[in-house]
Homo-oligomer: A and B are copies of this chain.
Amino acid sequence: MKAKILNELDTASRVVFIHPSDGDPRDPVTRMAQVSVDQRKLLVEVVFTETLVAPGEIGFPPALAEQLHVKPTKPVSIAARMRPASFDVIMKKYDHKPWSNDDIRLILDDIYHENLTDLEMAAFTLAIQYENLSMEETESLTRGFAYHGTQLKFNEPVYDKHSVGGIAGNKVSLIIVPIVAAAGLLIPKTSSRAITSPSGTADTMEVLANVNFTAEEIQEIAPKTRGMIVWGGQLNLAPVDSKIISRVERPLGLDPESIIIASILSKKLATGVNHLVLDMPTGPGTKIDTKAMGVQLAHKFVEIGRRVGIEVECALTYADQPVGHAIGPALEAREALETLMGQGPRSVHEKSIELAGILLEMAGLTARGEGANLADDILRSGKALAKMQEIIEAQGGNPQIRPDDIEIGQYTAELKAHADGYIAHISNTAIKRIAREVGCPMNKKAGIMLLHKAGEFIEKGTPLLRIYATKESDLDRALKVASSSQIYRLEGMVLERVSATAVKE
């Protein structure tokens, strides 16, 4: 059949349009079909229309046409869909049978090739949500995820730091990578952009340098600089999990443990990582509510790491409030530079040297328990800053950039305390919501500075935080959200609300 691109239709759904004379609209079976273009095949929903296409034509929305590399000149074909064998394998789990390594490979192959419907993928994901996979199955899932996509290769041991996420202001990778690289270890860090949080490591680094590199460029640059901080999203590292995440986990708000473990470790496998320190922010509002839960999960990461050949050490980190004061890409980049210059907040400094120290210990550069001291020495000596400048330059940024050179939003407002008290807790959830309203992470100049943190005593009327925006309307929306959120909890005033009484400056 002939392809027609329907430029007027902006839809993310996988739907094609055919003329009723090319199928039977009454037959529910033909509602799902497989379209083929060259070697590409995709499962789509069929809509019959008499006006958008002529007989013999298949109409594609532009997004789908792009995904399938459809061109009006290329022949396309469409056929009724047969349920793939992998679905029967998925359903074994509902008979309480384990999945073998081959089973998992078959399922992931069909997810990779988009042969499963959303509902069928949900059957896979929900089975895992219902009952965690065994260690054997999680190992298969990890290797299975790593099988598809890019494989980075280095001729020496690779070190890495990763955070399971869930905490705002966590810019420590921008300090850890240069410390570890300054010690001579290879740490080519691939990082993510934020989806629901105010800034991912890639978003923050992008304020200082380019983060888009090909696998070949990373393999060439990193061994020289010893460190890089790049965006992993475009590298197509272990891409299967992202299909599960976008099509099932995010729509349902799920995050099953076995998939968390396999997602992270498969990307490390694909990046050639041998030694990994895993930051696990633990506390209310993060992904890991309690320490007990964190310890249990950490043991699983260590064991699956061992099975697939990655030495993993997990650090459960304090997460009762954001790390440091700055939240949002530009503000966080500023704070990271300040920390490298020895002028950063204590929490950022401490978390960075602790995690970097674990990697230095793994490499045998110092005795166990001494890593943080060595990392601190490297940081205080200025070597980490010099290394960061070298990395920024290698990634196409300005190595001489100073914190004040980084532009931030010109519209600001402060929230003030409604009463006296000790700050007991700062809500990650509330902070994330406010940051989202001012446009983080897409708007790099937007963000929040926490002016006081947990443990401090503040008096009524003291400014607690400052919001930065690039548009007045963004600021207004953020203040509205702030006014209905419990951001700070002040001790002695159980659940007292501190709402916005902002004065625009």
Q: Using CB atoms and an 8 Å cutoff, list the residues of chain A in contact with chain B.
A: 8-13, 15, 20, 25, 28, 31, 45, 47-52, 61, 83, 87, 93-94, 117-120, 122-123, 126-127, 129-131, 248, 251-253
In the complex the two chains form, what is the Cα distance from A440 to B242 in whole Å?
Answer: 44
Contact A47 B13 (CB under 8 A): yes
> How many copies of the polypeptide does the oligomer hold?
2
Contact of A252 among B31, B119, B129 (CB under 8 A): B119
Most buried by B among A48, A93, A126: A126
9 residue pairs from A and B, CB less than 8 Å apart: A10-B20, A10-B50, A15-B15, A83-B253, A93-B130, A94-B126, A122-B122, A122-B126, A126-B126
Contact B248 A119 (CB under 8 A): yes
Contact of A126 among B47, B118, B123 (CB under 8 A): B123
Contact of A50 among B8, B51, B117, B131 (CB under 8 A): B8
Most buried by B among A13, A45, A123: A123
Contact B25 A94 (CB under 8 A): no
* Nearest CB in chain B: distance from A196 CB, A: 11
Which residues of chain B are near A126, meaning CB under 8 Å? 94, 122-123, 126-127, 130
Q: Give the residue name and chain of the B residue nearest to A246 (CB).
A: B28
Q: Give the residue name and chain of the B residue nearest to A31 (CB).
A: B12
Contact A10 B130 (CB under 8 A): no
Contact of A48 among B11, B51, B122 (CB under 8 A): B11
In the complex the two chains form, what is the Cα distance from A87 to B252 in whole Å?
Answer: 9
Contacts A122-B126, A129-B94 given; indicate if A10 touches B49 (C-beta within 8 A): yes
Contact B252 A13 (CB under 8 A): no
Contacts A94-B126, A126-B94, A126-B122 given; indicate if A8 touches B252 (C-beta within 8 A): no
In the complex the two chains form, what is the Cα distance from A61 to B25 in whole Å?
Answer: 14
